[in-house]
Amino acid sequence: GNILHSCAIYEACGKRGTLHCPVPKLKKAMDYIDCVIDQEDQQKASDQCATKAGLVPKVINKCAKGKLGEWLESGYGNQTNAFNNPPVTYVPFIVINGKHTEKTQDEAQKDLKALICKYIPDQCKK
């Protein structure tokens, strides 16, 4: 599942990942992840979820089956493992501007878009 998520972020946002990804593009990746996350077989649901989110299924599948997907997943894993204040003990584990708090965690789980827009309002107006 995580490799598909990584590849969807890549397909939506490009090689910089979520860093500086415009909210509308990031929303496509999040819509895809939200769609596949609860599926018993994420691979099976991938094409339908990608199309529904406005992403290209072929791009995600090619990425997930190749070296690019492995590299992306490894990179996100390294970022997760490097964060240790506090240590990541569950997912999703929301970090904003290098910090994790229970307040932002709660806000994100209630309304992720509203939380993101609080920090980058100009991107949300587009």
Judgement on whether residues 76 and 40 belong to the same structural domain of the protein: yes
The predicted-structure confidence for 87-122, as pLDDT tens digits, reads as follows 888 888 888 888 899 999 999 988 888 888 888 888
User: Rounded to two decimals, what is the model's pTM?
Assistant: 0.77
**Total domains in the fold of the chain:** 2
Instruction: Say what percent of the chain tops pLDDT 90.
Output: 50
DSSP 88: P
Q: Are residues 75 and 94 in the same domain?
A: no
- 117 & 66 share domain: no
Q: Is 31 found in the same domain as 5?
A: yes
Query: Do residue 13 and residue 38 come from a single domain?
Result: yes
Same domain, 12 and 60: yes
Structural domain range at position 120: 83-126
Helix, strand, coil % over all residues of the chain, rounded to 5: 65, 5, 30
Looking at the chain, the whole-number percentage of residues with pLDDT higher than 70 is 98
